[in-house]
Amino acid sequence: MNNPKKQQIVSTARDLFWKFGFRRVSIEEICREANVSKMTFYKHFKNKDELVKYIIDFITGIAMKKYREIMDSDIPFTEKVEKSIQLKMESSNDMSQEFFDDFHKNASPELHDHFNKLVHANLNTIQNDYIKAQKQGDVRPDINPNFILYYLDKMLEMAKDENLMRLYKSPPDLINELTRFFFYGILSRKT
Amino acid sequence: MNNPKKQQIVSTARDLFWKFGFRRVSIEEICREANVSKMTFYKHFKNKDELVKYIIDFITGIAMKKYREIMDSDIPFTEKVEKSIQLKMESSNDMSQEFFDDFHKNASPELHDHFNKLVHANLNTIQNDYIKAQKQGDVRPDINPNFILYYLDKMLEMAKDENLMRLYKSPPDLINELTRFFFYGILSRKT
DNA sequence: GTAAAATAATACAAATATCGTATAAAATTA
DNA sequence: TAATTTTATACGATATTTGTATTATTTTAC
């Protein structure tokens, strides 16, 4: 954890993985760039897969911790959702397409599995929050929580769509529109 | 040249090389992405080095053609320099660091040599233009043309320096400053 | 339509790169 | 100084990539 050599390895690997994905980066290259011998690498990680796991767990761990803080805070439900959407947008900006492509295209079965389980667990956490909100009356009772999960991903896609973006002054404007639509749909509020 | 399959190969390779450099990209990967069989690749290129040469020659060829057009046009010398500096800035934005890093770190001796000769030839062309301008009285006679070449590279470095950029409203403002400095130094013009 | 040419699909040996481990020397730490 | 960590190097075992050969398929030109 706090071992400086291990940190160098992780930090260097992260940089290289973010640029090129993990398939294109060799262990020796990481060691060279991190000024660490290969033996030291193998002291800390069994192989490249374990390093990739470590990094992905670390990254998603931070994001999920932030998410939990939002959901456990004492603010109205709508604010929680707004903040969690905001977090999702920020986190995805911080991600590298090359890195995540490798999980689908070039990962070992074990790594692929680990990745899927992680994603699934996190989606589950989020889904449970929405189910809970539904029980507490914050979310319309006749909507499928699975659809909400699906739609949150679609929102990210839409937020990154350049053609859609052209209709708005700035990215936050588009995110606001998406968020309001997520809350209220298109109909005006009748009292 | 106008063979569509060859164009697909070149275009796909360019995209991949720009992202990852050429060391990290295999011929099979290029073929796969370009929807071209490996045999077709080897019909057009002897090996990866020849493809890299082709691309680098193509890219620099376009840039040098534009440069020549500027220098052969019927405009004042200062305007030629301004435009050529502009061109240099634009071209460098279009370049990928990963791709050029490979020439220095991961190229075969032959490829490395080809690259150096190309760079040298182009620098020579530019130097000759400045020597000619010096003879025609457009450039101060007591300046070393080699210094000018060196300095043009430094200008690019300065134009991309974020710390320096902070002093200006916009990139063109900085480029203007650099260009004026290149022309006049710091002293006010005495008549 | 057919013949010729180009391209694709597949398999393969050879070359190259990467992995993971063993060993001994050097550097660091306590 | 002794114990521990790190490096340097070498190495066989795998894995990947290369370049070619062969055969089937598609495209092109007539």
Q: Which amino acid is at B86?
A: Q
* Domain range B48-184, CATH architecture: Orthogonal Bundle (1.10)
Q: Is A191 exposed, middle or buried (0-12, 13-18, 19+ CB in 10 A)?
A: exposed
So what's the pLDDT on residue B191? 59
SS3 B64: helix
| Contacting A residues, span 123-182, partner chain B, CB-CB under 8 Å | none
So what's the pLDDT on residue A188? 79
SS3 B171: helix
Superfamily of domain B1-45: Homeodomain-like (1.10.10.60)
A185: left (phi over 0), alpha (psi -120 to 50) or beta: left
Q: What angle do CA B20, B26, B31 make, to 5 degrees?
A: 110
Element (H, E) at B153: helix B145-159
Task: Give pTM, 2 decimals.
Answer: 0.86
So what's the pLDDT on residue B128? 96
Range(s) within chain A of domains with CATH label 1.10.357.10: 47-184
So what's the pLDDT on residue A143? 93
Please list the ranges in chain B whose pLDDT falls under 70. Answer: 1-2, 189-191
So what's the pLDDT on residue A128? 96
So what's the pLDDT on residue B79? 95
Element (H, E) at B67: helix B48-72
User: Whole-number Å distance, CA B45 to C1' D22?
Assistant: 21
How is domain A47-184 classified at the CATH fold level?
Answer: Tetracycline Repressor; domain 2 (1.10.357)
So what's the pLDDT on residue B95? 81
A35: left (phi over 0), alpha (psi -120 to 50) or beta: left
SS3 A139: coil
So what's the pLDDT on residue B190? 64
So what's the pLDDT on residue A1? 58
**A151-161 per-position pLDDT tens digit:** 998 999 999 99
Integer Cα distance of B169 and B16 in angstroms: 34
Please list the ranges in chain A whose pLDDT falls under 50. Answer: none
The answer, for B20 touching chain A at a CB cutoff of 8 Å, is yes
A24 CB neighbours in chain B (<8 A) are 20, 24
**B39-54 per-position pLDDT tens digit:** 999 999 999 999 999 9
So what's the pLDDT on residue A154? 92
Report the gap between the CA of B20 and the closest CA in chain A (Å): 6
So what's the pLDDT on residue A92? 85
